[in-house]
Amino acid sequence: MFQDKCRILANEPICGNFYRLVLESKSIAAAAVPGQFLNIRVEQGTDFLLRRPLSIHEIKKNSVSIIYKTVGRGTGKLSLKKPKESLDVIGPLGKGYTLSDGKAVLVGGGTGVASLKFLAADLINKQQAAVVVMIGARTREEVLCGNEFSELGCKVEICTEDGTLGFKGMVTSLLKQYLSVMGAHPRVVYACGPMPMLKEVGRLTSHFRIPCEVSLEEHMGCGVGACMGCVVPARNGGYLRVCKDGPVFDAREVAL
């Protein structure tokens, strides 16, 4: 965990309201594992604006990139930042995915797809895993990172709710079809996306008895496990911190 002033190497729109931010940081890049996130201070000065948690999308030797959607004040301001400006970043934070070998299915919805790219790269490069990625989006323009996954050597399945690209419907319907085919059993399913999607992925994997890890989001204060602000209910009672015990959880650990 570091607190670094990171120079912005790039901050550009990729499609719709989605942006890619590339930050210079050797130390964060060297320490990060897939599923971890950065807590970014968007505004300097004494103005009070909480840091924004954003997942790591990709690492290079000297840089870390993220993909974000502008949804409010913080991400809106972030999108106005120019290369060469710098941002105060704390990271890498949280507990990432457990890498497994064999066949893995990655299910992503919305910006959730972003963190799965880093995961897919490590699964393929470090574990020689066979990776199938299912990308869900509302419409064709919002399908994120399809080519990036193909270039890594993943099998890519695309799903749009309006049917403008790939399978028409929810990404979870595609997952259900996939898991129902005899012999298709992956060793593990990883999922990142909106809560209803994660709920359904959790239900399906439990039904098919396949281990599953999900990445969760919650409003954060400190981002380092100190304030107890970002909790989700644990299956066995009590609460778990998304920033420290997660954001990646075994789907059986949390009450989705």
Which residues of this chain interact with ligand FAD, rule CB under 6 A? Answer: 37, 50, 52-55, 66-69, 71-76, 111, 114-115, 217-220, 242, 247
Helical ranges in 54-188 per DSSP H: 73-78, 112-127, 146-152, 171-180
Give me 160's structure tokens.
């749009």
Q: Total binding residues for ligand FES by CB under 6 A?
A: 13
Instruction: Assess 225 for contact with ligand FMN (CB under 6 A).
Output: no
Residues 223-252 that bind another protein (CB under 8 A): 223-233, 237-239, 244
Rounded Cα–Cα distance for residues 59 and 26 (Å): 10
Q: Using the rule CB under 6 A, which residue among 10, 71, 195, 227 binds ligand FMN?
A: 227
Judge whether 210 and 202 are in contact, CB under 8 Å. Answer: no
Instruction: Considering the complex, state which of residue 94 and residue 146 has its C-beta at the smaller distance from ligand FES.
Output: 94
Interface pattern 151-170 for another protein (x via CB under 8 A)? --------------------
Cα Rg of the chain, angstroms: 18
Rounded Cα–Cα distance for residues 87 and 101 (Å): 36
Interface pattern 208-237 for ligand FES (x via CB under 6 A)? ------------xxxx-xxxxxx-------
**CA–centroid distance for 54 within its chain:** 8
Partner interacting with residue 54 (select from another protein, ligand FAD, ligand FES, none; CB below 5-8 Å by kind):
ligand FAD
**CA–centroid distance for 36 within its chain:** 8
Residues 25-44 that bind another protein (CB under 8 A): 41
| Peptide bond between residue 53 and the one before it cis (omega within 30 degrees of 0) | no
Interface residues with ligand FMN (CB under 6 A) are: 221, 227, 229
